[in-house]
Amino acid sequence: MFSGSSTFVSEVDQAFLFILIISVIFFLGITFAMIYFVVRYHHKKNQTVSQSSGNLTLELLWTVIPTILVLGMFYYGFIGYRHMKTIPPDALEIQALGRMWSWLYTYENGYQTDTLTVPLGKPVKIRVESADVLHSFYIPAFRIKQDAVPGMKNYVWFEATETGIFDIFCAEYCGDRHSYMLSLVKVIPQEEYATWYDGTAQFAPAAGPAGDAERKPGSRGPMLVKIKGCVACHSIDGAPLVGPTFKGVFGHQVTVITDGQEREILADEEYLRRSILEPQADRVKGFENIPMPLQNLTEDELAEIIAYIKELQ
């Protein structure tokens, strides 16, 4: 329970333990006193009853002592929070975009990925945003959480103190696949991070439409379906999720609903294209009408994804 890997961990856990220890002392006191009195003053043992209606000293005592203690607890919680809200000016900035139902991380050079990679021992500032509904960016091992609110830029920062891979959850309920809106943060040493970051530049859109001639069409597909969030609803292994799977679609007959009418069509390139750009036009029978988020695909990216789906047989 009390292991963690950021500079906030000790502060948060200490505040928690401070409150916990005081609470346990009081709780045991209350419970034991209650049970002891019930046993000791059971009517079989005690018929002489005190009809005392109170005691001012006691009342003052058990008003003042808890007041002092809770003010201490407030202070503990407050300084931890102040630390969380004081973002170091040299922090590395990464955007975390929440959308139904995946996280997309965008680095300063434009590189996009579905797994967060950060350097050890360096402050990292996450700009938490949402493309659709409320989400919440939560890394339990770092003790941080920040809601993603459409139309707002919320910031949260951390400094990792340990290398490793840690869970990222969505903590604000966001629909069917809320519990699968999971991601990972990978903490690596600073030198390794520098090399890794330099290497990402070639994948960034700034490097131009990834169009070197020898590359096979569709080879960027696996990466694109992840960062565009497709795989949150469309599996690549045949499992039906919220939407139909990509596997084995191409070249087969599908039953779709067009303008309320059921019909059979062949899943050709044209069909895939229309389904990505106008998802509601031909809805596959048996799936609920859940609006697909806008993908903002370039023509090149669209072609890559279609080429990739064609391969998934």
Partner 1 sequence: MASHAIVETTHEENYLQYKGRHGGLWSWIFSTDHKRIGILYMIGMFAFFVVAITLGLLMRLEQLTMGPTIMQPSTYNKVFTLHGVIMIFLFIVPGITATFGNFFLPIQIGAKDVAFPRLNLFSWWLYVIGAVTALVAVFTGMADTGWTFYVPYSVRTGTNVTLAVLAAFILGFSSILTGLNFVTTVHRMRAPGMGWFRMPLFVWGLYATAWIQVLATPVVGITLLLIILERTLGIGIFDPALGGDPILYQHLFWIYSHPAVYLMVLPGMGVVSEIIPTFARRNIFGYKAIAYSSVGIALVGTLVWGHHMYTSGQSYTAAVVFSFLTFLVAIPTAIKVFNWVATLYKGSIRVELPLLYAMAFIFHFSIGGFTGLMNAAISVDVHIHDTYFVVGHFHYTMFGGTVFAMFGALYYWLPKMFGRMYGQKIGITAFVLQVIGFNMLYFTMMVMGYMGMPRRYYDHLPQFHDGHIIATVGSWFLVAGLFLMIGNLVWSVFKGAKAEDNPWGGTTLEWQIPSPPPLENFDKIPQVERGPYEHTPVEVSK
Identify residues 56-95 at the interface with partner 1 (CB under 8 A). 58-59, 62-63, 66-67, 70-71, 73-74, 76-81, 83-85
Q: Is 280 in the site for partner 1 (CB under 8 A)?
A: no
Q: Is 21 in the site for partner 1 (CB under 8 A)?
A: no
Q: Return phi, psi of residue 268, to 5°.
A: -100, -175
Q: Find the shortest distance in angstroms from Cβ 97 to partner 1.
A: 15
Q: Return phi, psi of residue 11, to 5°.
A: -65, -45
Pick the closer one to partner 1 by CB: 74 or 196: 74
Non-local (6+) Cβ contacts of 187 within 8 A are: 5, 118, 119, 120, 160, 162, 163, 164, 165, 166
Pick the closer one to partner 1 by CB: 84 or 305: 84
Among 133, 210, 223, 302, binds partner 1 (CB under 8 A): 133
Non-local (6+) Cβ contacts of 133 within 8 A are: 100, 150, 174, 175
Q: Is 216 in the site for partner 1 (CB under 8 A)?
A: no
Q: Find the shortest distance in angstroms from Cβ 72 to partner 1.
A: 10
Among 154, 161, 200, 245, binds partner 1 (CB under 8 A): 154
Q: Find the shortest distance in angstroms from Cβ 291 to partner 1.
A: 7
Which candidate, 101, 117, 127, 301, places its Cα nearest to that of 205? 301
- Which token pair is 298? 């370039």
Buried b (16+ CB within 10 A) or exposed e, 207-234: eeebeeeeeeebebbebbbbbbbbbbbb
Pick the closer one to partner 1 by CB: 4 or 218: 4
Among 152, 206, 265, 277, binds partner 1 (CB under 8 A): 152
Q: Are strands 283-284 and 261-266 parallel, antiparallel or unpaired?
A: unpaired
Q: Which amino acid is at 252?
A: H
Q: Find the shortest distance in angstroms from Cβ 136 to partner 1.
A: 6
Q: Are strands 124-130 and 253-258 parallel, antiparallel or unpaired?
A: unpaired
Site pattern 158..197 for partner 1 (x: CB under 8 A): ---------x-xxxxxxxxxxxx-x---------------
Region 240-269 residues binding partner 1, contact defined as CB under 8 A = none
* Gap between the terminal Cα atoms of the chain: 44
Q: Find the shortest distance in angstroms from Cβ 252 to partner 1.
A: 25
Among 113, 136, 235, 295, binds partner 1 (CB under 8 A): 136
Pick the closer one to partner 1 by CB: 38 or 213: 38
Region 26-55 residues binding partner 1, contact defined as CB under 8 A = 26-27, 30-31, 33-35, 37-38, 41-43, 46-55
DSSP symbol at 44: T
Residues in the interface with partner 1 (CB under 8 A) total 83
Question: Sheet harboring 261-266: ordered strands across?
Answer: 261-266, 253-258, 283-284
Helices 269-277 and 299-311 meet at what angle, rounded to 10?
130
Q: Find the shortest distance in angstroms from Cβ 16 to partner 1.
A: 5
Q: Find the shortest distance in angstroms from Cβ 246 to partner 1.
A: 20
Q: Return phi, psi of residue 239, to 5°.
A: -75, 130
